[in-house]
Structure 1
Amino acid sequence: MNFATRPNFEAISSAPVMQRARGTARIGTKQRDGKTCIDTLFQEGCGKIRLPRTHSSALEAVFINTAGGITGGDHLRWGADIAPEGRLVITTQACERSYRSTGDTAHVEADINVGADAHLDWLPQETILFEASKLDRRLTIRLDEGATLTAIEAVLLGRDAMGEEARDAQFSDTWRIFRGDRLIHAEATRLTGDGSERDGLSLLRGCRAFASILHVAPSADRAEQLLDRVRALHPAAGLIAASANGERLVIRAMARTGLALRKLLVPTLIELTGAGSLPRLWHL
């Protein structure tokens, strides 16, 4: 005996289907007459790249998320391939915003290859974490022989003007930097929404803005030279410190507000960038 069953259309229609953003963008460079030029460009979904005109021999690429921000379940992939002896500056159009999640985690990945004797300035503007946001971010950079790097990632916990603190935001940030096949730098930052992370004296100490800068120099001697110059730029009362280990120079900074953090970071970034200046989009 067969029994026909009727689907429960009411139950099906009550389950919301959320629209999620997907974006992929990648750029490749080549050298021509001593300048770095575009060679390849791929864009898909909400991931876009724009190339403003500059007076530098370096190529500047602006990564843009046309979705206007990221939320739970979104997935963005960025990439770049820099030719030997190339100079590429990568920044973002504005601060990336990680909005409230309904449950899923947003994912942002960047995978970059830097050719021999080339230089990359990885200079995205700050990421703003909103209340109840969930973001997992991963940065992988492969440096060939003689290649150098200046990279920053900065995070703001809520918006200063709105008095937000985003105390329940969840965030993970993983860096893997290779020289050839050798891992030369690895770090991971994690916020779980636990109040001790925000208020602990050995952690954020109540600060709402923090950043890490990594500079990979061509040699350990060069890193030591830069360390002295960078430390001379830091205000005595600022929550910023630098250390050198081999070819790596690492700077950590914290501040109460995003503006205060920028004031700490900008002089150091100008000292370390291959272009000798920051992208125009960084200027307030």
Structure 2
Amino acid sequence: MHYQITDWDDAYANGAHIPGAEDYPPRWSRQAAAFRPGHRPLPLGRGHLFLPEGTPRGLMVFVHGGYWMRFEPSVWSHLAAGALAMGWACAIPAYRLAPRARVAQMTTEIARAVAKAAFNVPGPVVLTGHSAGGHLAARMICDGVLPDRLAARIAACVPISPLADLRPLLRTALNDTLCLDPAEALSESPALLTPRQGIPVTTWVGASERPEFIRQARLLADVWAGLGAPTECVIEPGRHHFDVIDGLADPDSPLMRCLLGQIAPR
């Protein structure tokens, strides 16, 4: 059967295809608020840096999603739980949202936040992010984004449901806010850029997500494999776009084992 998009807005609409979608944002906020009193974060600009008990084994960075136009770090505090339980620090950086900032500016802001967090936490660095945050996590390991010394510390990158090719978004109503033009869509699409060599990349996506998100996850893994990166694409059964991140809060989840389970401190 041929796969063809005829309605780009529907192809990238998640909530319309998830039962009870409207309940997820307030649930995330409640879980995050309940988590913070027992795990007081350090400030990371407008973001948060959570530290485990004892010396951190390394740093995990989680970049939140929301189509580059919604949410802020305090909504996602509870997703640091898995990393902390495994002895890792967890940074949840902030970035200015569209339309106040362009996607290219967000890439620069996240790069600065990663550098600041890594300055405060020694050891290996693992990058992850969800949806638009998956895009930004992947951008961090494209050539020329991070300083070489910091890039040498990155042990893995796991973009979750990433938007790897931004060109289709030019055809959506989302672009009324994002204000992408063709040049920026090209220059900010990880799948159209060259990854740094030697960093394992696992794209992670829910099997019940919109076909476009599965295609985009596969695309990034396939294209970067062709450019010499060690890649894998995991399609997690039973997960959709809003619950595919739940595993970050569980140190025993397949997602957390992929992220941190095989990485030894340096």
TM-score (norm 1): 0.29
Point out the structure with the larger helix share.
Answer: 2
Point out the structure with the larger strand share.
Answer: 1
Higher relative contact order (CA 8 A, sep 6+): 2
TM-score (norm 2): 0.31
